[in-house]
Amino acid sequence: MAQTDLHKKLHAFIEKGISELTIPEAPESLYKPYSYTMGLGGKRIRPYLVLLSCGLCGGIIEEALPSALAVEILHNFTLVHDDIMDSADTRRGQPSVFKKWDQNIAILSGDVMFADAFKQLEFYGREDSFSKKDYAEIHSTFISATITLCEGQALDMDFVERERVDHNEYVEMIKGKTSALLACSLKMGAISAHASENQISSLFNLGMEMGIAFQIQDDLLDAIADPEKFGKKVCGDIYEGKKTYLTILALERANKQQSQKIETVLAANSPTQHDVEDVLQLMKDLNVISDIKKEVDLHYSNAINSLDLFRDSDYKQELKNLLIFLKNRDH
């Protein structure tokens, strides 16, 4: 995606805000991992959405920065704890916090990040331009997203132990694990701009649709992406026996013989390439691949259509371009 002047300006503003976070130096074991995590970079998509939403609604970008920092700190907190749960040794090409220090330090440092995320929102309780209702709504939005995020993670963990998962349950998991914080980011940006209820609702829905589309698309690309562009093993989810939107839909549509084939391959420790290709062909025969492509397009189209409520501006075009870019990605 081409970087416009607005894109560069907002990302520079975000990085400046992160660099100016007040993170104490002591105790070092608590705060150094916090600084380390925030310094690892990343796409900063969530704080970017906060600022885009604020600008789209005619707000003052500086007044959305505390919300942008809050969602980015919270997101990074989840990554610190996710790495512990997944036993992931690296994060963004560097040692994960629990690997660089230890598990106890990672848990405690993550906890202080969680608290500091909420601390950023004190800004809205101090500023005269925000009413008690605004402050309460921003807090409520952030708390609800945090709870939904945890619920999504819990569902994802539960699914590992279950033999079968319904595709509607899987979408609910996505809404929690992926969509919740995207929708929260857009909603908080709108609230910080004193947007109308219709504008706030439209942007929240945009975030939900965007998250569902992105995760289902990720599952799809794992199976059909160009290996050279994808950067990892195609059909890796099948090789690893993961429950994805593709495998769940395939099992729902398969006859007894087809189901046995799919389940046998997913349960195998080291399935052969031939077996994996057989499962992929079954998915195509059952119209799983083609139907999911249509579903991804529908969710992205719903997200783009949510922008119809807003007047034309650089912020609207930037958000629309982001959605089109994601919709058309092939890896």
* DSSP class per residue in 27-60: SHHHHHHHHHHHTT----HHHHHHHHHHHHTT--
Q: What per-residue confidence (pLDDT) applies to 199?
A: 98
Q: What per-residue confidence (pLDDT) applies to 296?
A: 97
Residues 228 and 323 in one domain: yes
CA dist., res. 297 & res. 173, Å (int): 20
Domain end: 195, 227, 253, which one? Answer: 195
Domain end: 180, 195, 210, which one? Answer: 195
Domain end: 177, 195, 213, which one? Answer: 195
Per the CB < 8 A criterion, the answer to whether 326 and 213 are in contact is: yes
Residues 219 and 79 in one domain: no
Per the CB < 8 A criterion, the answer to whether 8 and 44 are in contact is: no
Residues 311 and 189 in one domain: no
Q: What per-residue confidence (pLDDT) applies to 226?
A: 83
Residues 168 and 219 in one domain: no
Q: What per-residue confidence (pLDDT) applies to 316?
A: 98
Q: What per-residue confidence (pLDDT) applies to 154?
A: 95
Structure tokens at 316: 């609207």
CB atoms within 10 A of CB 58: 14
Instruction: Supply the angle between the helices 314-328 and 5-19 in degrees, to the nearest 10.
Output: 90
Residues 286 and 138 in one domain: no
CB atoms within 10 A of CB 247: 24
Residues 156 and 259 in one domain: no
Report CA torsion sign: 203, 48, 83, 236: positive
Residues 107 and 177 in one domain: yes
Structure tokens at 133: 């209702």
Residues 214 and 191 in one domain: no
Residues 93 and 75 in one domain: yes
Residues 234 and 297 in one domain: yes
CA dist., res. 128 & res. 123, Å (int): 10
Per the CB < 8 A criterion, the answer to whether 31 and 25 are in contact is: yes
CA dist., res. 223 & res. 238, Å (int): 8
Residues 181 and 166 in one domain: yes
Q: What per-residue confidence (pLDDT) applies to 227?
A: 80
CATH of the domain at 146: 1.10.600.10
CA dist., res. 247 & res. 280, Å (int): 9
pLDDT in tens, the chain (331 residues): 779 999 999 999 999 999 999 999 999 999 999 999 999 999 999 999 999 999 999 999 999 999 999 999 999 999 999 999 988 899 998 999 999 999 999 999 999 999 999 999 999 999 999 999 999 999 999 999 999 999 999 999 999 889 899 999 999 999 999 999 999 999 999 999 999 999 999 999 999 999 999 999 999 999 998 887 767 788 999 999 999 999 999 999 999 999 999 999 999 999 999 999 999 999 999 999 999 999 999 999 999 999 999 999 999 999 999 999 999 998 8
Q: What per-residue confidence (pLDDT) applies to 39?
A: 96
Count of structural domains within the chain: 2
**Residue 14 structural domain:** 1-195
Residues 34 and 165 in one domain: yes
Q: What per-residue confidence (pLDDT) applies to 44?
A: 97
Q: What per-residue confidence (pLDDT) applies to 229?
A: 77
